[in-house]
Amino acid sequence: MEKLFWGMVAGCTIAFSLLLGMYLNKTGVIDLSKTDDAQEITTEADTTEGPEDISSLVNETQKNYGLASAALEDLPDNHKTTPESSPVKTEQINPSSLVDADRNDDHDYFMGEEEEEASEEASSTEESDTPESKKNKDYQYTLYKDHVVINKYLGNRADLVIPDTIDDQPVTELAASSFSSAKTLVNVDIPDTVVTIGDNAFKGSKSLVAVEMPDALTSLGIGAFDGCAKLARMEIPDGVTTIGNKTFNGCNALTYVSMPSEITSIGEQAFNNCFALEKLTLPEDLQTIGKKAFYACTALPKVAIPSSVTKIEESAFEGCTKAERFTMGNEVTEIGKGAFKGCTSATYVKLSTELMEIPEDMCNGNVLLEECPIPSSVTRIGKNAFNGCAVLTNATIPSSVESIEALAFNGCAKLEELKIKSGCTVIGDSAFAGCTSLKSVEFPSTVVSIGTSAFSGCTKLADVTISKNTKSIQAAAFSGCIFADVTINRYCSVQSDSFPTNCTVSYY
């Protein structure tokens, strides 16, 4: 608006100057034809009207001034002077104050052609950079100025070689769900130009048997091969650093997978229900194994967890019924609930020396487990941790353990030797119930509470030593045991059925 205003003022000023000069010359007030330095100036004005063309020019000039005044009215309020703001004295506005001082001498400011041309060029560049959605007989895709993203496969081939270029641009990405539920695909060769395979890219392609992965791949999306029930083998390229959730979930025929050492995390249900997976080498840099990552991989014979791993999440290897051994490095500080639950062939589990807690259900139902030493770093043994480990023969509870929770060793029928070191304070309900081979137990002075049915059904337990510091022995704590006498603190809280029938109770 400022440019419009000052442009019109400049034009009007020039036109008015010309008109005034022509009029004065015509009426004889001045004589523009003279060239002498000293010109005569007529002091008496001629009142004769000028020609019609002069009148029309004056009218045109007045019209232009009217337009300039209207433009002035459109200026922001802070550039106007109103009677309300100056009731006593009206100040004349200096036009140069309405704009930057430097603009008054800048003729190019009022000539917007170059600026408009630059704007048009920028607009043209933006249009050329705009992605274009396109389609051919095999693919729907997005064409960018330097690459192509395949959005949807439209063909019906069994053997497919994905092109490395489309419209002379490299194919760099297979977008989310781009090949999902492809009913005919059996073999797919992905070009080395592809760096990204999106989420669910091949999900539900139930006939897919083999995929040649690109060497340049750096990103493998969540659920990329979820439900590819006939996929037999997989070699993951070196550039991939994570395997996301459900990447190979339900790949029931997958027998072998090769993973690069750079992979740091395996996501939730990544290999869930891969029933045929027979060989597994976990990456050297792996740090986290997600929830149900290898749930029900029933053909795995053993699992060696690398020393780099710090966290094994809930049910990570639950239901791996053929795995006989589980080993891990000493960097693991956290194991989730049921991590090795239902591994019915496992005979040995080696735990990290940095493990803080043995979680709930960790080895629940591992009926062939013979040995699982408890590290001295452990402070708690969770509920059902070794429930049903029927052939476990001995257990040593280190002094670091403060509590043994409910059903922790319930049903360990072959448990003959139990050592509870000083430090444990609470033995939970049914913690050792049904340990039918256990013959003797000596409780350390730190134990203050023995829970309901803690040793119920230990039918060979004939010798029990209870500390005078024990304050509470709950109902049926030793129901079904065979010891005939016991000594306790006279202030210890007991129930009428806390001890075996006919057991003699003495007091410290």
In this structure, the answer to whether residues 360 and 485 fall within a common structural domain is: no
Residue where a domain terminates, one of 285, 315, 333: 285
Q: Cα–Cα distance between 481 and 453 in angstroms, integer?
A: 11
pLDDT surpassing 80 at residue 40: no
Q: Is the dihedral of CA 286, 292, 298, 302 positive or negative?
A: positive
| Segment 430-489, tens digit of pLDDT | 999 999 999 999 999 999 999 999 999 999 999 999 999 999 999 999 999 999 999 999
- The CA distance from 107 to 411, in Å, is 97
Confidence of residue 90 (pLDDT cuts 50, 70, 90): very low
329 with 371, same domain: the answer is yes
Q: Which tops the pLDDT comparison, 202 or 1?
A: 202
User: Same domain, yes or no, for 174 and 74?
Assistant: no
Query: Could you tell me if residue 291 is inside a domain?
Result: no
Whole-number Cα distances in Å, 454 to 304, 469, 474, 485: 35, 18, 8, 18
HEC letters along 264-312: CEECCCCCCCCCCCCEECCCCCCCEECCCCCCCCCCCCEEEECCCCCEE
Residue 505 has which token pair?
Answer: 């109770």
Say how far apart CA 338 and CA 306 lie, in whole Å: 20
For 305-339, write each residue's pLDDT tens digit: 999 999 999 999 999 999 999 999 999 999 999 99
Count CA within 13 A, CB hemisphere, residue 333: 2
Instruction: Enter the tokens of residue 88.
Output: 């006593």
The region of weakest confidence among 23-32, 158-167, 259-268, 474-483 is: 23-32
Which 8-state DSSP code applies to residue 105?
A: G
Which residues share a beta bridge with 464?
441
87 pLDDT band, cuts 50/70/90, is very low
Question: DSSP character for 411?
Answer: T
375 CB-contact burial (10 Å; exposed 0-12 / middle 13-18 / buried 19+) = middle
Model pLDDT for residues 151-170, shown as the tens digit of each residue: 999 999 999 999 999 999 99
Q: Are 241 and 261 in contact (CB under 8 A)?
A: no
Give residue for tokens 């006498």: 485
Q: At what angle are helices 2-27 and 52-73 packed, to 10 degrees?
A: 160
Q: How confident is the model at residue 118 (pLDDT cuts 50, 70, 90)?
A: low
Please say if the pLDDT value at position 103 is more than 90: no
What pLDDT, on the 0 to 100 scale, is given for residue 56? 58
Residue 192, pLDDT above cutoff 70: yes
- Verify that 358 and 280 share a domain, yes or no: no
Whether residues 200 and 257 share a domain: the answer is yes
The whole-angstrom separation of Cα 491 and Cα 388 is 35
Q: Is residue 408 part of a domain?
A: yes
Establish if 194 belongs to a structural domain: yes
Pick the last residue of a domain from 392, 417, 437: 392
Nearest to 488 by CA among 504, 466, 461: 466
Residue 258 and residue 137 share a domain? yes
316 and 260 part of one domain: no
Q: Are residues 146 and 259 in the same domain?
A: yes
96 pLDDT band, cuts 50/70/90, is very low
Residue 351 is part of which domain span? 301-392
Closest CA to 314 of 352, 348, 353, 359: 359
* DSSP structural state of residue 145: S
Q: How would you class 241 by CB atoms within 10 Å of its CB: exposed for 0-12, middle for 13-18, buried for 19 or more?
A: middle
Asked, for residue 501, whether it belongs to a domain, the answer is: yes
Helix (H), strand (E) counts: the chain:
3, 34
CA distance linking residue 476 with residue 155, whole number of Å: 70
In tens, the pLDDT along 368-385 reads 999 999 999 999 999 999
Can you give the length of the chain in residues?
508
118 in any annotated domain:
no
Same domain for 165 and 269, yes or no, is yes
Count of the separate structural domains present in the chain: 4
d(CA 400, CA 420): 10
**Angle, vertex CA 279, rays to CA 277 and CA 282, nearest 5:** 105
Q: Do 232 and 340 share a domain, yes or no?
A: no
Whether residues 342 and 468 share a domain: the answer is no
**Domain termination site, one of 232, 255, 285:** 285
> Tokens 């009926």 correspond to what residue?
367
So what's the pLDDT on residue 51?
46
Q: Which residue has the tokens 């000083």?
A: 422
Asked if the structure places residue 280 within a domain, the reply is yes
**Residues 145, 170: one domain?**
yes
> Which residues make beta-bridge pairs with 381?
358, 404
Confidence of residue 117 (pLDDT cuts 50, 70, 90): low
CATH number at residue 469: 3.80.10.10
User: Quick check: is 123 in a domain?
Assistant: no
Residues 94-111: what's their mean pLDDT?
50
- First-to-last alpha carbon distance for the chain, in angstroms, is 103
Query: Within a domain: residue 117?
Result: no
